[in-house]
Amino acid sequence: MISTKGYAAQSAVSDLAPWNFERRDVGPHDVQFDILYCGVCHSDLHQIRDEWGGSIFPMVPGHEIVGKVKKVGAHVKKFKVGDLAAVGCMVDSCRVCEECKDGLEQYCSGTGMVGTYNSREKDGTPTYGGYSNQIVVHEDFVLHVSDKLSLPAVAPLLCAGITTWSPLRHWKVGKGHKLAVLGLGGLGHMAVKFGVAFGAEVTVLSTSPSKEAAARQLGAHKFIVTSDPAQLKGVKRYFDFILDTVSASHDMGLYLSLLKTDGTHICVGVPSEPMPIHAFNVIMGRKSLAGSGIGGIPETQEMLDYCAEHNIVSDIEIIDMKYIHQAYDRMLKGDVRYRFVIDMATL
């Protein structure tokens, strides 16, 4: 076993604190790498507080992980010592179901995907995430990272990036489309960057007028303050797609009214409480309400390669590990542009 240092929550009401634990030895197909940076995701806070239920404690959060390969198993072919590497939201799946064979491991219908943390390996062992100094993962779930990009700014691509990339690619959003991005946070700012790169007309929908300058700096073509009835009236039945990144309760009927006939509202944010939707909101205009998770391994590698080619990374603020609770407080207030990333050298 490999002695590992991390930060863990011991219960849903305890703060994160230093915790030593053990990772498995490197198997024939495993990659061990030193974690250099780990992004902070809103879901980290949801899960350490058990807001989605079923949390496994002690919990070491973190699924936006980048680092450098330290050791590889005897049969590993995709990585060598010294390579830059990354791990996102999952570390295994059944490998044999239809979804896995199609490169959609995130939707594994066999055993289900194994999350990078707050999940269980096939042998029942809990998984522990990236708020730690090292990790051991099967090579099939480890990703290559280009040295062309700022490594800490790559970390959020493993969740915020792929969570927005995947639906935009699935629905083939691009030239000729009018895309609205609802919410300008960790996910939203990546949705703007990708939407613009793909050639869509991008509008940011926000409750905060103060975010307009930042939205336009990211490349957004338009900005709508959703609390202003006059501005909303100008975009009724206007959008082909709305990418909804908001994790707080909001009026779905209002936003569905902004879609064109046959428009699609895509949910990638996860509010804590269910939200009511009247059937007429989708019937009138033959609109679709859809959702999307992260992306599969092939798609995530495709995104990372695209980002290296087009120089796209997340906008980040690097923090020390000991600052994590202040970072959570600021994240809840929307006081970050746009993703915190932990420098694991401060562990």
| SS3 label, residue 106 | helix
The verdict on 60 and 206 lying in the same domain is: no
Strands 30-39 and 65-72: antiparallel
pLDDT band at 238 (very low <50, low <70, confident <90, very high): very high
Could you please report the per-residue DSSP string of 126-190? BP--SSBSEEEEEGGG-EE--TTS-HHHHGGGGTHHHHHHHHHHHTT--TT-EEEEE--SHHHHH
The verdict on 278 and 225 lying in the same domain is: yes
Q: Phi/psi at 34 (nearest 5 deg)?
A: -75, 130
- For residue 14, give both structure tokens: 């305890």
- The answer to whether residue 330 sits within a structural domain is yes
The type of residue at 218 is L
The verdict on 192 and 47 lying in the same domain is: no
Tens digit of pLDDT for each residue in 58-100? 999 999 999 999 999 999 999 999 999 999 999 999 999 999 9
- The answer to whether residue 297 sits within a structural domain is no
Could you tell me the CATH number of the domain that includes residue 133? 3.90.180.10
Could you tell me the CATH number of the domain that includes residue 226? 3.40.50.720
The verdict on 116 and 173 lying in the same domain is: no
Number of domains the chain is built from: 2
- The answer to whether residue 268 sits within a structural domain is yes
The verdict on 8 and 153 lying in the same domain is: yes
The verdict on 168 and 244 lying in the same domain is: yes
CB 328, CB 62: distance < 8 Å: no
The verdict on 152 and 171 lying in the same domain is: no
Q: Is the pLDDT of residue 132 over 90?
A: yes
**Which helix H or strand E contains 112, and what residues bound it?**
none
Q: What share of the chain is helix, strand, coil (3-state, %, to 5)?
A: 30, 30, 45
The verdict on 106 and 249 lying in the same domain is: no
Q: Phi/psi at 16 (nearest 5 deg)?
A: -65, 140
Tens digit of pLDDT for each residue in 36-51? 999 999 999 999 999 8
For residue 228, give its domain range: 161-291
Q: Is the pLDDT of residue 320 over 90?
A: yes
The verdict on 63 and 181 lying in the same domain is: no
Tens digit of pLDDT for each residue in 323-347? 999 999 999 888 999 999 999 999 9
The verdict on 166 and 98 lying in the same domain is: no
- Strands of the chain, DSSP E: 2-8, 17-23, 30-39, 65-72, 84-87, 90-92, 114-115, 134-138, 143-144, 178-182, 201-206, 222-225, 239-244, 259-267, 288-291, 316-319, 339-343
The verdict on 153 and 177 lying in the same domain is: no
pLDDT value, residue 273 = 85
The verdict on 320 and 218 lying in the same domain is: no
